[in-house]
Chain A
Amino acid sequence: MLTIKQKQLDTIIEQSFALHPIEACGVISGLIGSDNPLTVIPMDNSAKSETFFRFCSKQQLKVWREMDEHDHEVIVFYHSHTNSRAYPSKEDIKFSIPGKSHHLIVSTDQNSHGEIRSYRFVNGRAVEETLKII
């Protein structure tokens, strides 16, 4: 289960709709081992695509170093789908990073009504989990 604050989710939703139809992406970091998402960090989508995202590698290095300095790790990876529902795509599975992190997908597709779902990637498969908003 992913427990996330409404304010954090609002930040992600705002970013996702602001960038629509380009896919938005980012992370929420938190203390190592805590499974508690604290800091929303929007990332630049270097692909600038409606169907693909890739973190800007230079920005990623900077953010990862800052997380190290604060004993933080990625608790949540998030991105938007702008033309489909909030289900993992083949590319999401292909690039999935195994581990304990959560993967949040926000759909900004007009037929999806802001659908948001959370997953964990286990053995190359996406397993949906409960999303608890507090």
Chain B
Amino acid sequence: MSILIHIPTILRALTNDQKKVNSSGDTVSDIVENLECDFPGIKDRLINNKEVHGFINIYLNDEDIRFGEGLNTQVKPGDAITILPAVAGG
């Protein structure tokens, strides 16, 4: 099952400058693992302590997975994932 993933500018150095990539998996966690195979180093930028990294937002379609099932969120054919940098500070 192929899922479209939108990659933010800050991570494109890891995806050979590709703005959109495809990966597969039944959950967001699976997809991140598969992304790591294709684009080594990306997992560390997306996950910290088995949760979505605090510097990153991951959306399944229109929803931030942090407010749902997190990395265990199930994905279906036709879903799209968008990764954005979290914008925060003090």
CA distance A92 to B64 in the complex (A): 22
- Chain A binding site: helix, strand, loop or mixed by DSSP? mixed
Contact with B along A88-106 (1 / 0, CB 8 A): 1111101111110000000
Q: How far is the CB of A30 from chain B (nearest CB, A)?
A: 15
A-B pairs with beta carbons under 8 A, tally: 65
Q: How far is the CB of A71 from chain B (nearest CB, A)?
A: 13
Q: Residue B43 at the A interface, CB < 8 A?
A: no
Q: Are A97 and B87 in contact (CB under 8 A)?
A: yes
Interface residues of B (CB under 8 A from A): 9-10, 55, 57, 59, 62-64, 66-67, 82, 84-90
Name the A residues within 8 Å of B82 (CB-CB): 61, 64
Given contacts A97-B10, A98-B10, A99-B10, whether A91 and B89 have CB atoms under 8 Å apart is: yes
Name the A residues within 8 Å of B55 (CB-CB): 95
Q: How far is the CB of B89 from chain A (nearest CB, A)?
A: 4
Q: Are A95 and B57 in contact (CB under 8 A)?
A: no
Q: Are B90 and A92 in contact (CB under 8 A)?
A: yes
Q: How many of A's residues come within 8 Å of B, CB to CB? A: 29
Name the B residues within 8 Å of A53 (CB-CB): 88-90
CA distance A17 to B71 in the complex (A): 38
Q: Are A91 and B84 in contact (CB under 8 A)?
A: no
Q: Are A95 and B10 in contact (CB under 8 A)?
A: no
Q: Residue A72 at the B interface, CB < 8 A?
A: no
Q: Are A97 and B90 in contact (CB under 8 A)?
A: no
Q: Which of A41-60 contact B (CB under 8 A)?
A: 43, 47, 51-55, 57-58, 60
